[in-house]
A and B are shown apart, each in its own frame.
Chain A
């Protein structure tokens, strides 16, 4: 056990190429997914916060529920869509990094949209009258509010990134965990542990924990700094 830990540390410290390729792909996949989810989720969340239409409450309830989507179920659904017989089969995306990005985007989108919806709605309740008194409306009012709460929104985005980089179920199913192609940190840890190659699993585990820790520390520090600077 201790030997495995030491070997794992050595892999990390010696910049083992195989290990860092896996880390690199993980980051590319998760960051792409979060970027896409942010692009779609922030406007959707903001529109949901400000818009008034029938069925809005139902949409909010569903969106909040989707925050807890099980990754394996997302993986399964995307698998079915991308499989050869599925509606998106002709694209040939199954078992590619792109498929993993799609699955993680679906997984993270509700988190970013729901958290953004809550932040924007709270801010809008406070700002609406004042902005209308200034004669500011529509998209300009929305941009003012989004800019004013940019630090809360960043927290929402980092929450999404934490979720994406830590999940295993979705990327395992749609990526297939193919060596050198779709193998990421979490799927490698699962595989190597079952194979008994503990050093690589432990090394990747340490990197993964470090990444999650850094993300959370960053979210915390940004919030603190924002509170101090802007109140």
Chain B
């Protein structure tokens, strides 16, 4: 059903300060499956997602969506959401305006999105005084209002307590049910199991392994991934 997918990466590298952070990655992301990007700190997860989302330009290689106009049909939720100094509702309305949604529809769509993440009662509250979990749900509402075909999530629950994490995961699942392709990095293997269909395992900027969840966890194909799954983070 998605038209901008698959997203194809061909020999994509990214170098910063003389260090190669992403090293000749080639892969295709298809619609339908939820993709979890796993890897140790510094493996390049965040950079890979920023490259896919278009926030960074590859140093070499090619990144191509299947259709033009992909920019407005994808959204990203960051580890630390940036809240504009407006109300919760105002934040969602701003995202809709930026996406070119006509003014007459913005408030209705924004309220629907707040409903979806359970923030409707806090619509008038200034976004910056919301709790961490509420802010992250608001970030998800901003994405929800746009009905993106692809949603990138960069460790969306890294700073949250278990209760808030459960609420965030429920919203992510709702995106999945609504047909949005999920691409998420996480440190939590439990979260990967709960939300993912497949795993891309990143090590020192390279894709070492890509496998369905049900195969990756019991039988990682590489020693690095096996060590990671066992909790022995491979620094070497």
Q: Using Cβ atoms and an 8 Å threshold, which residues of chain B touch A131?
A: 98
Q: Which residues of B (97-156) have their CB < 8 Å from a CB of A?
A: 98-99, 126-129
Question: What is the CA–CA distance of A144 and B76 in the complex, to the nearest angstrom?
Answer: 19
Number of A-B contacts (CB under 8 A): 42
Contact status of A135 and B128, CB under 8 A, knowing A127-B82, A129-B82, A130-B82: no
Q: Which residue of B lies closest to A140 (CB)?
A: B98
Question: What is the CA–CA distance of A229 and B90 in the complex, to the nearest angstrom?
Answer: 13
Question: What is the CA–CA distance of A117 and B67 in the complex, to the nearest angstrom?
Answer: 40
Question: What is the CA–CA distance of A133 and B74 in the complex, to the nearest angstrom?
Answer: 9
Q: Using Cβ atoms and an 8 Å threshold, which residues of chain A touch B72?
A: 135
Q: Using Cβ atoms and an 8 Å threshold, which residues of chain B touch A130?
A: 78, 81-82
Main secondary structure of the interface of B (DSSP, over half): mixed
Within the complex, what minimum Cβ distance (angstroms) separates A35 from chain B?
Answer: 25
Question: Which of B55, B85, B95, B98 contacts A231 (CB under 8 A)?
Answer: B85
B62 CB within 8 Å of chain A: no
Q: Which residue of A lies closest to B100 (CB)?
A: A135
Question: What is the CA–CA distance of A142 and B202 in the complex, to the nearest angstrom?
Answer: 36
Question: What is the CA–CA distance of A229 and B53 in the complex, to the nearest angstrom?
Answer: 33
Within the complex, what minimum Cβ distance (angstroms) separates B213 from chain A?
Answer: 27
A132 CB within 8 Å of chain B: yes
Q: Using Cβ atoms and an 8 Å threshold, which residues of chain A touch B81?
A: 130
Q: Which residues of A (217-231) have their CB < 8 Å from a CB of B?
A: 229-231
Interface size class of A (residues with CB under 8 A): 10 to 19
B84 CB within 8 Å of chain A: yes
Question: What is the CA–CA distance of A77 and B127 in the complex, to the nearest angstrom?
Answer: 48
Question: Which of B82, B126, B127 contacts A126 (CB under 8 A)?
Answer: B82
Most interface-central of A127, A133, A135, A144 (chain B CB within 10 A): A133
Q: Using Cβ atoms and an 8 Å threshold, which residues of chain A touch B127?
A: 231
0/1 per residue, A189-231, Cβ < 8 Å to B? 0000000000000000000000000000000000000000111
Question: What is the CA–CA distance of A129 and B78 in the complex, to the nearest angstrom?
Answer: 9
Question: What is the CA–CA distance of A135 and B71 in the complex, to the nearest angstrom?
Answer: 7
Question: Which of B55, B83, B99 contacts A132 (CB under 8 A)?
Answer: B55
Question: What is the CA–CA distance of A132 and B95 in the complex, to the nearest angstrom?
Answer: 11
Question: What is the CA–CA distance of A126 and B86 in the complex, to the nearest angstrom?
Answer: 15
Give chain B's interface residues, CB within 8 Å of chain A: 50, 53, 55, 71-72, 75-76, 78, 81-86, 94-95, 98-99, 126-129
- With A130-B82, A229-B126, A230-B86 known, 15 other A-B pairs at CB within 8 A are A129-B50, A130-B78, A132-B55, A134-B95, A134-B99, A136-B98, A144-B84, A144-B94, A148-B85, A149-B85, A230-B126, A231-B85, A231-B126, A231-B127, A231-B128
Q: List 19 A-B contacts (CB under 8 A).
A: A126-B82, A127-B84, A129-B50, A129-B78, A132-B55, A133-B75, A133-B78, A134-B95, A134-B98, A135-B71, A135-B98, A135-B99, A144-B84, A148-B84, A229-B126, A230-B85, A230-B128, A231-B85, A231-B127
